[in-house]
A and B are shown apart, each in its own frame.
Chain A
Amino acid sequence: MNLGRVLSIARKNLRVLKHDRRTVGFIVLMPLLMITIFGYAFGGEVQDIKVHIVDLDSAPSNESISARVISSIQSRDTLRIVALLDESAQQDGGDPVATSTGQVEDAEIWATIVFDVNFTADVTSRLSSGYGAPVPVQVIVDGTNPNIVQAIVVDLQKSIAAVLAGMGAVPVVTISVDYVYGEGASFIDFFAPGVMSLAAMLVTFMLSIVSFVRERGTATMDRLLTTPVTESEIVVGHAISYGLVALMQSIVIILTAVLLFQVQIVGNVLLVLFTIFLLGLGMLGVGMLLSSFARSEFQAVQFMPIILFPSILLAGVFWPIEAIPEFLRPVSYFIPMTYAVAGCRSVMIRGWGIGDVWMEITILALFACVTLASSTYGLKRRR
């Protein structure tokens, strides 16, 4: 292997990018956009869910427990009470529960929360006697979106718990959580490693497959092979140039994640970059390998979703591998992304070092070696 020729190939690739501003813009902006959109979309809690509350509680307003629960709900942003109906609505001749349920059916609101006539009385007697059936609060809900149902129920429970605690009711069991890792970690801390790996994977795969398909189409690959440059020098030249691009892109993402979304990086940033670099090298090899199955750049782009979707869905980027049905889990373990995400996550959140993520690093390094070596072989076989 001749370093001068390897660098000639690498410089050529970088120069092609230098003249192609739009692609450079894509490489830099695509991950920025990804992390920003994911950050804002997933980072926040569910807010402003429209609900009706029907408060039929007959207790006077200064004693009413339901009124206190309602004001607790109002103190947060999760639920937006569009209308608060009470027994006065009933006297107008309409049934407020039926009216409100109609609104749920029309999808004007997500839910109706109903407090019964004897709510305060039942709760008071249940508290003083210490036994009896639990007192119900009825929720009539549109279950189209399970996340919303979940948010409504949780917010309601929170409010009730707060009010009861204020009345001196002591919970029988409490859960005390001690964080080993990730105290204060938010959802964006969880998926930032995934977004970084995704972006690196996309860009290296795309650059290498399109570049190789183009070189074949314009016969420049043939011409290269009539010069002293060897197949492995071509592959290594590509790996160096596009690996560098992936590395720079990862730095941009890390900076954005830390500066804009306060993502925490407990471990060594260099180890994170190295992990992503290895994934990028492997995906470069995959791109070069698959390039021989694509006759045009258009066909090359068609490989993108095939590569992208399993990695997004099965590699633990946005939800844990434990959430994937058991029969699909073996597939996860064959996706290199899985190891990049797991490795980066352990370093960023748990602060682990190379000694703890050596297995992920080894698997990614092997993956890179195998794909790069096979693409070298693939080039040789063409002769």
Chain B
Amino acid sequence: MTMVKTRNGGRDTAGTSSAIVVNGLSKDFEGLVAVDNLNLRIGRGVLYGMIGPNGSGKTTAIKMLVGLLRPSAGEAHLLGERVPVRKATSRVGYMPQDMAIYTELTVHENLELFAGLYSMDRKGAGKRELELLKMIDMDERRDSLVSQLSGGMRHRVSLACALIHDPELVFLDEPTVGVDPELRSGFWKYFSDLKGRGKTIVMTTHYMDEAVRCDIVGMMRAGKLIAEGPPAELMKMAGVQDLESAFLGFARRSDA
């Protein structure tokens, strides 16, 4: 694997000051290896982007980290707690790829449900809801049923549900799919705000122009991390001008 030494990665080993520490994490589904000996160390306040083709194991890796799938081997720590943990769940947010919000409820009712599940007080939840609705530009659709919203709008509501409790660490599985470019830049502004407040964000994306804006990019292929580092350095190492070519370069190298 190609590793580029970074400000945040690889410094501590105890897993206390890192947001995420993953050691030898693997998952096989009846012989099909989805994630193969994954090692990660993601520092706090880092915006980490996972890229890689469909089926490269990004979603499976995230599902193991949030406790939805039991790893076949290896272990992981989130915010110093071993996965799967109950203690850390209130500090972790997760936006799944399939939107997973209640289409039979209104936008507000969805947000209120998740606020309740994170035991937020009514006042704080209301304030937070307003802030998030502004960010996703849906404050006027607060009382619309989700089933009446477009796909892109549902995605935005799903993102808001993942962020309602102001988590320290948030996993976003393709948060910007189906979101128009203007709103997408709004999202990115919000992500950098979060980062500025010391929050850690792990996201998967198919858009290379988004990946470039991450602090660290992890390239996944066939369940393995084939390269990791700041985008500029990855491109420099591969001797190319864009991340896509860099990915293809590392992919060829990993085959060789």
Contacts and interface: CB of A to CB of B under 8 A. Distances in A.
B116 A226 contact: no
B105 A5 contact: no
Nearest to A229: B117
A15 B103 contact: no
B98 A228 contact: no
B116 A220 contact: no
Contacts of B241: none
Nearest to A12: B113
Contacts, number: 73
A131 to B, nearest CB: 81
A4 B68 contact: no
A123 B245 CA distance: 114
Given A218-B98, A222-B68, A226-B67, A12 B90 contact: no
A8 B117 contact: yes
Interface in B86-112: 86, 89-90, 92, 94, 96, 98-106, 109
Tell which of A7, A219, A223 has the most Cβ of chain B within 10 Å.
A223
B102 A12 contact: yes
Interface string B115-137: 01111000000000000000000
A219 B98 contact: yes
Given A19-B105, A383-B68, A223 B96 contact: yes
B70 A383 contact: yes
Contacts of A383: 67-70, 84
B67 A227 contact: no
A297 to B, nearest CB: 13
Contacts of B103: 218
A2 B119 contact: yes
A219 B102 contact: no
Contact of A226 (B92, B113, B119): B92
A350 interface: no
A33 interface: no
A228 B94 contact: no
Interface string A220-247: 1011111111100000000000000000
B187 interface: no
A211 to B, nearest CB: 10
A23 B196 CA distance: 47
A127 interface: no
Contacts of A225: 67-68
B191 interface: no
A15 B109 contact: yes
A335 B131 CA distance: 53
Contacts of B106: 19
Q: Which of B67, B68, B103, B116 is the most central at the interface, judged by chain A CB atoms within 10 Å of its CB?
A: B116
A152 B117 CA distance: 66
Nearest to B63: A222
A181 to B, nearest CB: 47
Given A222-B96, A223-B96, A383-B67, A228 B90 contact: yes
B179 interface: no
Contacts of A230: 86
Contacts of A223: 94, 96, 100-101, 161
Contacts of A9: 117
Q: Which 5 A-B pairs have the closest CB atoms?
A: A8-B116, A223-B100, A219-B100, A227-B117, A16-B104
26 contacts: A4-B119, A5-B119, A7-B116, A8-B116, A9-B117, A11-B116, A12-B105, A12-B109, A15-B105, A16-B102, A218-B100, A218-B102, A220-B100, A220-B101, A226-B89, A227-B89, A227-B117, A227-B118, A228-B86, A228-B118, A228-B119, A229-B117, A230-B86, A383-B67, A383-B68, A383-B69
